[in-house]
Amino acid sequence: MKTLFAARRTAASLVVALAALGAGAPGATALPHTTGGSASHQTRIPSRDPRAIPFTEATVERRPDGAYTVSWRAPGAGAVTVYADDRPVAHGAAEQTVTVRDLPAADRQWFRLVPDEGAPLTLADRSLHLEGAPNFRDLGGYRTTDGRWVRMGVLYRSDDLSRLTDADRAKLRRLGLRTDYDLRNSEERGKAPDRVPDGVRYAVADVAGEGIPTPTSPEDSVRLMLEGGHGMVALPSARAAYAEVFRAAADPGNHGMLFHCSAGKDRTGWAAAALLTALGVDRATVTRDYLATNTYRAAEVQAAYDRATPEVAAILRPALEARPEYLDASFTEVAERYGSFDAYLRTGLGLADGTPDALRQGLLTG
């Protein structure tokens, strides 16, 4: 079966391969260096379990000017205090957006959201803001359907690591990166070897193997991407690779773990989607994480279009974009081939019964 796994199909390599074709809110209190955003007042819902995390939504985003936007929704709380570096930096209502400024420089700024009822939640910006890997980001910070949260700082997903700068590598070393799973094929690995910090354990989990066809039209490109989505689930090489990643992620000794391919979109995208689904994250959130590649790689993809002729750019576009239907193809293959996601984990990946439980125990909080 023909497949397209993004494998040599990064922005630069696709252009080469196709060159022959024609080459202060209500309820918010602003603390020092903080501005409040919008807030909405709602009926307070008492928390049934004082140990439960009351947040249903929460995000942190570092802005270009160095400030941070922190947003949350905690219907089980009356008020929330935000801490950074063990000091309060913002205070708001149950639903709030605040901007925190003038924090000391840090490799990664963490925020602790402390509700007046229920357990706190610790978050950071999902992106690690690496110069040489714009799609390097945390897999955590998502809520599960049973109210728990995927821990941040444990699992990461990324694009090509061959362009990491010395500053990027030093940052990853300080942040505790320990394990690197490379999902690419041998040709990709040979042409663009990973530049991870010394001491990081490097492992290969080749998803697609060799042999990736070149699309000849936009329609052909879409078709190949959809076939690739099915192949992520169906191909023996893919099943073996993802099983290895799952087993590694379930072992706390590997935490501080990264998995990546070339664009961090398709092979990496299914690894992330499958892990988040196994942890209990809902499908809509899983899809948003998959589509976020379009934001993180926007500049790189636009540069590929700019280098190509209009005809080649039209063929490139379906291959370089993350589209919901590509991820849907993988989930459809799971349903048709195995009947359920749990059966995919057991039969398709051959995981032991305790592996999903170990994943949840090690990667969830709350």
Each residue's pLDDT tens digit, 105-162:
999 999 999 999 999 999 999 999 999 999 999 999 999 999 999 999 999 999 999 9
Q: Which of 125, 153, 175 is the last residue of a domain?
A: 125
Query: Could you give the CA distance from residue 40 to residue 25 in angstroms, rounded to a whole number?
Result: 9
pTM of structure: 0.88
**Same-domain check for residues 201 and 143:** yes
Planar angle of CA 208, 206, 305, nearest 5 degrees? 55
Which tokens belong to 69?
């936007």
- Give residue 209's pLDDT band: very low, low, confident or very high (50, 70, 90): confident
> Is 73's pLDDT higher than 60?
yes
Boundary of a domain, candidates 125, 146, 177: 125
Question: Does 59 share its domain with 174?
Answer: no
**How many folded domains does the chain comprise?**
2
**Domain presence at residue 1:** no
Structure tokens at 195: 């530049």
Of 109, 125, 141, the domain-final residue? 125
Percentage of the chain beyond pLDDT 70 is 86
* pLDDT value of position 5: 37
Q: What is the mean pLDDT of residues 294-321?
A: 96
Q: Tell me: do 111 and 172 sit in the same domain.
A: no
pLDDT of residue 210: 72
Residue 333 pLDDT exceeds 80: yes
Q: State the average pLDDT over residues 293-316.
A: 96
Is pLDDT at 14 greater than 60 in this prediction? no
Same domain, 249 and 156: yes
228 and 247 both lie in a single domain: yes
Contacts of 348 (CB under 8 A, 6+ apart): 233, 239, 334, 337, 338
Domain range spanning residue 273? 11-23+126-365
pLDDT at 270 > cutoff 50: yes
Amino acid 18: pLDDT: 35
- Whether the per-residue pLDDT at 311 is higher than 50: the answer is yes
311 as an active site residue: the answer is: no
What is the secondary structure of 121-144 as a DSSP string?
Answer: EEEE-SB--BTTBTT-EES---BB
What are 113's two structure tokens? 């959201």
In total, the chain counts a number of residues equal to 366
The rounded mean pLDDT for the chain is 88
pLDDT band at 211 (very low <50, low <70, confident <90, very high): low
With a cut of 80, say whether residue 6 has pLDDT above it: no
Residues contacting 156, CB < 8 A, separation 6+: 128, 136, 137, 138, 139, 177, 257, 258, 259
Name the band, by pLDDT with cuts 50, 70 and 90, for residue 21. Answer: very low
Residues 191 and 43 placed together within one structural domain of the fold: no
Specify whether 320 is located in the same domain as 188: yes
Q: What is the mean pLDDT of residues 71-83?
A: 96
H-assigned helices in the chain: 11-17, 166-175, 186-191, 218-234, 236-249, 267-279, 283-291, 293-296, 298-307, 310-320, 324-338, 341-343, 354-363
Q: Are residues 112 and 132 in the same domain?
A: no
| Model pLDDT, residue 39 | 34
pLDDT, residue 50, reads 60
Which is catalytic among the residues 100, 261, 263, 292? 261
Sequence-distant (6+) residues with CB within 8 A of 286 are 272, 273, 276, 277, 327
Q: Which pLDDT score is estimated for 9?
A: 36
Residues 285/142, Cβ–Cβ less than 8 Å: yes
pLDDT in tens, 223-252: 999 999 999 999 999 999 999 999 999 999
CATH number of the structural domain spanning residue 335? 3.90.190.10
**Residue 26 — pLDDT band, cuts 50, 70, 90?**
very low
Per-residue buried b or exposed e for 143-167, using 16+ beta carbons within 10 Å of the residue's own CB: bbeeebbbbbbbbbbbbbbeebeee
Query: What is the model's pLDDT at position 38?
Result: 34
